[in-house]
Structure 1
Amino acid sequence: MAMVVTQPCIGCKEKSCLPVCPVECFHTSENEPMVYIDPDECIDCGACVAECPAEAIFYEDDVLDQWISYIELNATKSAECPTAHE
Structure 2
Amino acid sequence: MTYVIALPCVDVKDRACIDECPVDCIYEGDRMLYIHPDECIDCSACEPVCPVEAIFYEDDVPEKWADYYRVNVEFFENIGSPGGAAKAGVYAKDHPLVAALPLQTAL
With the shorter chain as reference, the TM-score category is 0.7 to 0.9
The TM-score normalised by the length of structure 2 is 0.70
RMSD: 1.9
Aligned to 2:66: 68
Alpha carbons of structure 1 residues 38 and 17: separation in structure 2 relative to 1, 3 Å: same
Distance in structure 2 (CA, Å) of the matches to 1:56 and 1:22? 19
Q: Contact conserved, 1:38 with 1:79, CA < 8 A, in 2?
A: no
d(CA) in 2 for partners of 1:80, 1:70? 17
Percent of pairs with identical residues: 45
Residues matched between the structures, number: 84
1:78 CA displacement: 3.4
Structure 2: gaps of 5 or more residues = 90-107
Give the corresponding residue for 2:92.
none
Range moving further from structure 2, 55-64 or 4-13: 4-13
- Structure 1 runs of 4+ aligned residues shifted over 2 Å read 78-86
TM, length-normalised to structure 1: 0.85
Q: Which runs of 5+ in 1 are unaligned?
A: none
Match for 1:33: what amino acid? R
